[in-house]
Amino acid sequence: MIKTPYLLFLGDAPDPLAAKVAQGIRDWRPENAVGQLRLPGCKADLKLPDMTLEEARGAGAQTLVIGVANRGGVFSESWMQVMEDALQAGFDLAAGLHTLLRDQPPLVALAEAHGRSLHDVRLPSVKYPIADGRKRTGRRCLAVGTDCSAGKMYTALAMDAEMRRRGMKSSFRATGQTGILITGEGVPLDAVVADFMAGSVEWLTPDNDPDHWDHIEGQGSLFHVSYSGVTMALIHGGQPDALVLSHEPTRTHMRGLPDYPLPSLEALRDTALPLARIANPDCQVIGVSVNTAALGEAEAVACLREIEDRMGLPTVDPFRQGAGRLVDALPA
């Protein structure tokens, strides 16, 4: 569990996209973001107050989150200086980068000396159990994609936000580094050892109130041969009551696999649902989430309508339209 709220470190981001982790936190957990800290030349701006470390501490910030990708696999001199100063000023540090905080001796020494924590959210920090398949109380929703990076995390965050807005009981359950930094907790599923994958998802989504929904962040795709095992573990460990089909309509092949065509939404439904029913016989496909970012407004509307007619399921782009219709479709 990472202590909130955060000061978001944007470093010397060369463009706004480099700071997409910080952007995700600002968009989805604005209450966790008291301000931003930028270095000279930073091209990203979250429209949060620019703060020094001292100002952010004064405003209650507990953790400096590295919300930007670094370049070249090492931390620059200027980043190291900020992180060292932050530990001395009373901050914990959190990052989801391949370059690990714990591999930087000056940071380890300062964290020890000052009693601070270093959170490398790409690595598991828990010894997860082997899954036992026991039926848990509470409800769970999982987005599964025709491909990787089709909008599954966004869909889960949007459904969670919509349910909270309506005063319903809901949690977003993070399974990747961006999601973990957004909420401050979760399972870095792609770094979990094979035998414990499904168990880590059970651990992440424990017994809960009967009317509480976990919105589990999806990973990979059953149709993506590099990562399908991770997706399978999510479906069986998560024992979802509801599946949302996620799709990006302009892809011409599976991400990173030029020889693999995309499956149809029908094939995704017919593959994922029987597998999900092994763990939860009551599971239903409740809707389709389409990432229409690459389409103009008219094209997007036509695309959504075509899919909705064809699949007979509520079909939305949660970014354009919100996730209200998906939340409406959840079983009572």
Shortest CB 40 distance to its own copies, Å: 36
- Distance of closest approach, residue 280 Cβ to its own copies, in angstroms: 10
Q: Least Å distance between CB 256 and its own copies? A: 8
- ∠ CA 320-170-242, rounded to 5°: 75
Site string for its own copies, 61-80 (x = CB under 8 A): --------------------
Residues 262-281 that bind its own copies (CB under 8 A): 263, 271, 274-275, 278-279
Strands across the sheet containing 242-247: 170-173, 213-216, 139-145, 242-247, 284-290, 315-316
Judged by CB under 8 A, the residue of 45, 54, 103, 195 near its own copies is 195
Q: Which is nearer to its own copies, 18 or 131 (CB)?
A: 131
CB of 266 to its own copies, least distance (A): 12
In whole angstroms, how close is the CB of 263 to its own copies at the nearest point?
Answer: 8
Nearer to its own copies, 83 or 279 (CB): 279
Least Å distance, CB 242 to its own copies, is 18
Q: Contact between 149 and its own copies (CB under 8 A)?
A: no
CB of 152 to its own copies, least distance (A): 16
198: contact with its own copies by CB under 8 A: yes
Indicate whether 252 belongs to the interface with its own copies (CB under 8 A).
no
Tell me how far CA of residue 282 lies from CA of 154, 241, 249, in angstroms: 25, 6, 29
Crossing angle of helices 77-88 and 105-114, in 10° steps, is: 10
With CB under 8 A as the contact rule, which of the stretches 20-28, 44-52, 111-119, 131-139 interacts with its own copies? 131-139
| Closest CA relative to residue 57, chosen from 6, 22, 106 | 6
CA distances from 106 to 15, 46, 312 (A): 28, 29, 57
CB of 49 to its own copies, least distance (A): 37
**Contact range with its own copies by CB under 8 A, out of 27-35, 62-70, 250-258, 284-292:** 250-258
DSSP one-letter code for 78: H
Measure the CA–CA gap between 186 and 118, rounded to whole angstroms. 16
| Token reading at 52 | 């020094």
CB 209 to its own copies: min, Å: 22
Residue 283 interacts with its own copies (CB under 8 A)? no
Per CB under 8 A, which of residues 227..246 are in contact with its own copies? 227-233, 236-237, 239
CA distance 85 to 257: 43
Number of residues that bind its own copies (CB under 8 A): 41
C-alpha 209 chain-centroid distance: 23
Please answer whether residues 156 and 218 qualify as being in contact, where contact means their C-beta atoms are separated by less than 8 angstroms. yes
d(CA 325, CA 214): 17
Q: Which of 2, 6, 80, 3 is nearest to 39 (CA)?
A: 80
Tokens of 325: 């219709």
Residues 6-45: x where in contact with its own copies by CB under 8 A, - otherwise, as a string: ----------------------------------------
- Integer-rounded Cα Rg, in Å, for the chain is 20
Q: Report how far residue 208's alpha carbon sits from residue 205's, in angstroms, rounded to the nearest whole number.
A: 8
* DSSP 8-state symbol, 159: H
Residues binding its own copies (CB under 8 A): 130-135, 189-195, 197-199, 222-223, 225-233, 236-237, 239, 254, 256-257, 259-260, 263, 271, 274-275, 278-279
